[in-house]
Amino acid sequence: MTGSSSPFAVRGVIEGFYGPPWTHEQRLDLLPFLAARGMNTFVYGPKDDPLVRSRWRQPYEGDDRQRIAALARVSASNALTFVYCISPGLSIEYSSDADVAAILAKLESVAALGVSHFGLLLDDIPLELQYPRDRAAYRDLVEAHASLVGRVAAGLGPRRRLMVCPTLYWGRGDEDGVARLGRAVDPAIDLVWTGRAICSLSLELEDAQRFEASTGHRPLYWDNYPVNDVAMTWELHIGPYRRREPLLHRASRGVVANAMSLYEASKIPIATIADYLADPETYEPETSWARAIRDVTGDDADAEAFALFADNVRSSCLSPEDAPLVTRALEAFGFALERGDAEHEATQLRALADRVLAAAAHLLRGSVANRALIDECRPWLEAFELGGGALRRIADLGLAGRIERDARRELLPFLAKLRDARVRVFGDALDMALADLTDVHLAPGRKLVIEGGGYA
């Protein structure tokens, strides 16, 4: 889809996560992928590129410089805006003319490569002024940032565009800090915002309108999905884009979605984000998701197997529902077991377990078109296969009438291995079912150790 009639001015992806940055080849692969789906922006700001953040004063040289030039060139050939970001907030002295000049020198060196859009990222930095001269020059961090933004914007000139990420980048949108910053800087400068939370369950028109009223800027959403860095690394965020209001475009500049370091896996949710941004009022998450899985896996059989796997790793800030199919099957089995008539539900659970195991075997050991996707998802796929084995064992015990006698001996090893895997698959459903059936009630994060048929 072209996305040319989209009501959002900005539609794109930001490489803004903590962890190993994407490779140059992956970025070059992403650009036509975005363009083909109607997106128009790629924002370069990986937290662990030292020349963006920790060594921001250092210029790009040699191969590093050529890579930035290639990204700008290929972005332009795909009608994408390339936004280069700098994150000086960990070490900058705001009152220092030399430091402001260093920012401008760095950005000018990138501009020489054909870049005209820049990001000044002031997120995830100390909340207080660190240098004595800054404390003497400014009332607080907000005043220092307003001054910095103004000087950088003036230095870039009117033909370059600037986006700014405030230090306070989430909330209701009318907090004192962001309101003061917004009112102090040019309305032509984009202010990025993540919504009510760092990783927001929903993005709503009312919040965007509040942000605009308080800051004088329509928010440019930096949506922290599908990113899974820091405390979220045990989750695989490949579910569809959802809970973004269809009329959000009426009070926002657009959305740049923060991706995962898992590049191929990120393509699936990115494709659904592109569908939402192209036509938010008719967007249907599940339909878009099925299409995205088919596109990224590249094969019908692979897509069928991967869709079953993906249905059991829905956990994210966007999806309170974890693993709906398995959850319902385990609930039905548990209820029937309590009534003393579990044969039918055990048979259904056995059939589902066989589907899970067949899908896992195909993806892990079969011939698949997108091997890089499988390699990225391997820890979750291995837990998916292990969970399929647990589901089959539960069903077999139920069919044989041996739950009460043999559950602890037969099922405790599955519970221990699944917890030791430290990835989230099947949500809480399988863990809770195994704990109930074996009468092991430990917090999910606590390690289970099998000792002579018991547990410790």
Active site residue 124: yes
Cβ atoms of residues 236 and 228 within 8 Å: yes
Cβ atoms of residues 72 and 30 within 8 Å: no
Given the residues 64, 124, 279, 396, the one annotated as active site: 124
**Number of residues written out for the chain:** 456
Dist. CA 165–CA 193, nearest whole Å:
7
Cβ atoms of residues 203 and 248 within 8 Å: yes
Dist. CA 217–CA 210, nearest whole Å:
10
Dist. CA 328–CA 304, nearest whole Å:
20
Q: Is 219 exposed, middle or buried (0-12, 13-18, 19+ CB in 10 A)?
A: buried
SS3 label, residue 190: strand
Determine how β-strand 41-44 pairs with β-strand 220-223: unpaired
Residue located via tokens 């990120």: 266
Q: Where are the beta strands (DSSP E) in 60-116?
A: 81-86
Element (H, E) at 293: helix 285-297
User: Sign of the C-alpha dihedral, residues 158, 160, 166, 169?
Assistant: positive
Task: Please calculate the CA angle 39-236-74 and round it to the nearest 5 degrees.
Answer: 30
Cβ atoms of residues 85 and 121 within 8 Å: yes
Dist. CA 163–CA 211, nearest whole Å:
16
Strand partners, 10: 254
Dist. CA 17–CA 53, nearest whole Å:
12
Dist. CA 181–CA 286, nearest whole Å:
39
Active site residues: 124
